[in-house]
Amino acid sequence: MTERDTHRVIPLMDQRPNSLAVPAAAFDAATRIQANGLIADQRGRTLRDLRISVTDRCNFRCNYCMPKEIFDKDYAYLKHIDLLSFEEITRLARVFVAHGVEKIRLTGGEPLLRKNLEQLIEQLASLRTLAGEPLDITLTTNGSLLARKAQSLKDAGLQRVTVSLDGLDDAVFRSMNDVDFPVADVLEGIEAARAAGLGPIKINMVVKRGTNAQEILPMARRFKGSGMVLRFIEYMDVGATNGWRMNEVMPSAEVVKLIQSELPLVQLNASSPGETAQRWGYANASGAHDTEAGEIGVISSVTQAFCSSCNRARLST
């Protein structure tokens, strides 16, 4: 650098403190935060749903989410010290709840990889909504660790689970998640969740044309009458890492038409404002909803975007 160049450099002074103070107070469920109104955005949408990512790690390598060629052994995941602690997460959750949030969903990565997750659930379960009701606490998982953890999650205060399952055939399942993990073990986890009372259980299947679309009808047959809600999700673009192409998207309307070719359906009303899934019930002989047969849902994240009715926020660790 020449003397002339030095005149073009703006000197910066480090104003950071020598150390960051860590709050000494432990989590206290009895501590109250003053509620001063609901949180609404510029379009008047009120925040009711908070999704909390407790880890960026996952033991699957689903090609639509964390493809192996990107998330390999050298990928720089967050260090444990960089993750929000359970106490920090709970303090933030309390602020959101004080402003109208009624539902918290724990996600990842794979949330069950977070050590001692039950402790966080216990803390969140102690919170109450503005109406004085318990929070609706749910968790989304790939099911790989669910069989061994279902009961402890329930005991900690978890209410429901959503399990990702992209097919019943092991080879097809492997083509989607890129790991050697048997479908039977995921189904075992689902049954353990049912036995523990973590229901109604939702099953999410991402549909990718040319890869697992042939599993739509077998999945519909398998979960009809099970008391679980099977939801089909359009394969969507989550960034530049998954090689997304529009010709691999199977529109939800096509999924519904395929199922109706064998299992008649009747459209149902949304169960709550801001619901992302369109609901369809299995029809009886008279064309009415057969409640014992249950229902499916389709999430049209590509062909019928639902952002205009969104009422959720996401907190990442």
Peptide bond into 274 cis (omega under 30): no
Sort 240 into a burial class: Cβ within 10 Å, 0-12 / 13-18 / 19+: exposed
User: Of 255, 271, 314, 293, which Cα lies nearest the Cα of 49?
Assistant: 314
What pLDDT shows up at residue 252?
96
Q: For tokens 């990107």, what's the residue?
A: 70
DSSP-derived pairing of the beta strands 136-141 and 278-282? unpaired
What pLDDT shows up at residue 317?
77
- 255: Cβ contacts below 8 Å, ≥ 6 apart: 207, 216, 232, 298
| Half-sphere exposure in the Cβ direction for 279 (13 Å, CA) | 16
Q: Domain 44-316 in CATH: superfamily?
A: Aldolase class I (3.20.20.70)
For the chain, 317 residues long, give each residue's pLDDT as a single digit of tens.
444 444 444 444 433 344 444 444 444 544 455 555 788 888 888 889 999 999 999 999 998 888 888 888 888 889 889 999 999 999 999 999 999 999 999 999 999 999 999 999 999 999 999 999 999 999 999 999 999 999 999 999 999 999 999 999 999 999 999 999 999 999 999 999 999 999 999 999 999 999 999 999 999 999 999 999 999 999 987 765 667 889 999 999 999 999 999 999 999 998 877 678 899 999 999 999 999 999 999 999 888 877 777 888 899 87
Q: Please count the other Cβ atoms lying within 10 Å of the Cβ belonging to residue 255.
A: 22
For residue 195, the one-letter residue type is: A
Alpha carbon distance 110, 59 (integer Å)? 7
Query: Per the structure block, which two tokens stand in for 219?
Result: 């999945």
Whether 144 contacts 27, CB under 8 Å:
no
Supply φ then ψ for residue 6, to 5 degrees. -65, -25
What pLDDT shows up at residue 35?
59
SS (H, E, C) 9-32: CCCCCCCCCCCCCCCCCCCCCCCC
Global model pTM greater than 0.75:
yes
Alpha carbon distance 245, 207 (integer Å)? 13
